[in-house]
A and B are shown apart, each in its own frame.
Chain A
Amino acid sequence: MSSDVCTTQEAAEILGISVTSVQQLVETGVIEAWKTKGGHRRIPIAAVYAYKNLPGASGQAAAPSPRSKLTAVLVIEDNKMQRDIYEKKLSSWGLPIALTFCENGYQALVEIASHKPDVLLADIVMEGIDGYEVIKTIQTYPGLADMDIAILSSLTGAEIEKRGGIPNGVVFFEKPINYDELRGYLRACCAHKARQFA
């Protein structure tokens, strides 16, 4: 096999995600690929590493921008009604946050690659790349280690355990969300961010 391309399996190993997730990244055009006459998918290794090359991965921090004093909060939620509620609630708290919403894990990874958020609020059960995959991907990058991550899910405790439990350093909010607790969590995240400018 040419050293310029790899298989779906090899791409999955490089990225540390499942084969299914790689297939879906290819199908949505996030990573380019083609198929041989025999129907076997080939992915340019450069495309895999371009996707893997997230900001901060080299250890160099991005230059601060005027907007960066706001705590960038990325919410991954596939349910429109729940997104609308989050937007209403979080916007009403008077916190120094910049809110971004993604409808699925793919969009979230692309957003994280281009605009590294300070806080990630992630649903778990979503079609395609689920919240666990997104969090697992984030946790493989040292440059993203300081991101505050919380899971917001209606999965039961037993279901969470079946999936491997809550990842280290991740906070879990069970739905229906206690918004007083979520507000307190975000206030702490904002204080954490503010210390960077102290």
Chain B
Amino acid sequence: MTHSRYIHIDPQVLLDAADGDIAVFCDLCQTFLDIAPPMLRELEAAVDRQDRAAAARHSHSLKGTVALVGARELAALLQAVESAAGSDAPIPDLAAPQALFGSVAQEVRQCMNSTPADGLPVAGAAPASEPESGT
């Protein structure tokens, strides 16, 4: 039996939120993949037009969403964006959160596509096998 391993998310966070229900867990993973990319795009657009209030709001929303999949490092980067946008400080460049978001989304997709034979998702080590293509 192989175990998928994740370094950018902690699937146990979402599994606990789903009370261990794998079907609900997978539905929540799909919801994440549906709602999180548009949130990132809204944040990018807000930063591009230097709309601090919108950037603070969108980074806050995206931070909350990625926290639900245990993406702590990405959540911390988004907290920094939120804090800066809510003050007079320069808004950090989004390159790091954008890159990390891609990895987070990839791992959520892997997690969702894991089968019972792969065992329950376990956080801690490198992602399994080949990376998936697409966004």
Residues of A within 8 A of B (CB): 78-82, 84-85, 88-89, 92, 125, 127, 154-155, 159, 175-176
A85 to B31, CA, bound (A): 11
Interface residues of B in 21-74 (CB under 8 A from A): 21, 24, 27-28, 31-32, 34-35, 57, 60-61, 63-65, 67-68
- Whether A85 touches B68, Cβ cut-off 8 Å, given contacts A79-B35, A92-B19, is yes
- Whether A154 touches B63, Cβ cut-off 8 Å, given contacts A80-B35, A85-B68, is yes
Which chain B residues border A82 with CB–CB below 8 Å? Answer: 64-65, 68
Which chain A residues border B28 with CB–CB below 8 Å? Answer: 81, 84-85
Q: Are B64 and A175 in contact (CB under 8 A)?
A: yes
> Which residue of chain A is the closest to B18 with respect to CB atoms?
A88
The 6 residue pairs across chains A and B that have the minimum distance between CB atoms: A85-B17, A81-B31, A125-B60, A154-B64, A81-B68, A80-B35
A181 to B118, CA, bound (A): 33
Contact of A85 among B18, B34, B63, B86 (CB under 8 A): B18
Q: Are B68 and A88 in contact (CB under 8 A)?
A: no
- Whether A79 touches B65, Cβ cut-off 8 Å, given contacts A127-B57, A154-B60, A159-B86, is yes
